[in-house]
Amino acid sequence: MDFNFTEDQLSIQAIARDFAQKRIAPSAAEFDAKGEFPLANIREMGALGLMGIEVPVEYGGAGMDPISYVLAMIEIAAADCAHSTIMSVNNTLYCNGLLKFGTHEQKLKYVTPIASGEAIGAFALTEPQSGSDATAMKIRATRQADGSYIVNGKKSWITSGPVAKYILLFAMTDPAKGAKGISAFIVDTARAGFHCGKTEPKLGIRASATCEIEFADYKIPAEDLIGAEGEGFKVAMSVLDAGRIGIASQAVGLSRAAYEATLAYAKERKAFGQPIGSFQMTQAKIADMKCKLDASYWLTLRAAFAKGQADKSGGKFSTEAAVAKLTASESAMWITHQAVQIHGGMGYSKEMPLERYFRDAKITEIYEGTSEIQRMVIARNETGLR
Ligand code: CAA
Q: Does residue 36 have an active-site annotation? A: no
Evaluate if pTM is beyond 0.95: yes
Ligand 1 atom closest to 178 (CA): 29
pLDDT tens by residue, 237-293: 999 999 999 999 999 999 999 999 999 999 999 999 999 999 999 999 999 999 999
pLDDT tens by residue, 202-249: 999 999 999 999 999 999 999 999 999 999 999 999 999 999 999 999
Same domain for 379 and 240?
yes
pLDDT tens by residue, 98-110: 999 999 999 999 9
Domain count, the chain: 3
Owning domain of residue 132? 122-230
Same domain for 237 and 296?
yes
The backbone torsions φ and ψ at residue 166, rounded to the nearest 5 degrees and listed phi first, read: -125, 150
Examine the fold and report which residue of 101, 119, 137 is the final residue of a domain before the chain moves on.
Answer: 119
216 inside domain: yes
Same domain for 174 and 135?
yes
- What pLDDT does 308 receive? 97
Examine the fold and report which residue of 230, 246, 267 is the final residue of a domain before the chain moves on.
Answer: 230
The residue whose C-alpha atom lies closest to atom 21 belonging to ligand 1 is 234
Ligand 1 centre distance from Cα of residue 320 (Å): 15
Examine the fold and report which residue of 187, 203, 230 is the final residue of a domain before the chain moves on.
Answer: 230
1 inside domain: no
| CATH of residue 27 | 1.10.540.10
183 inside domain: yes
2 inside domain: no
Catalytic residue among 75, 223, 368, 382: 368
Give average pLDDT by consecutive 10-residue segment, the chain, 386 residues: 93 98 98 97 96 98 98 98 98 97 98 96 97 97 98 98 98 97 98 97 97 98 98 98 98 98 98 98 98 98 98 96 99 98 98 98 98 98 97
Same domain for 264 and 224?
no
Q: Is the CB of 37 under 6 A from ligand 1?
A: no
| CATH of residue 159 | 2.40.110.10
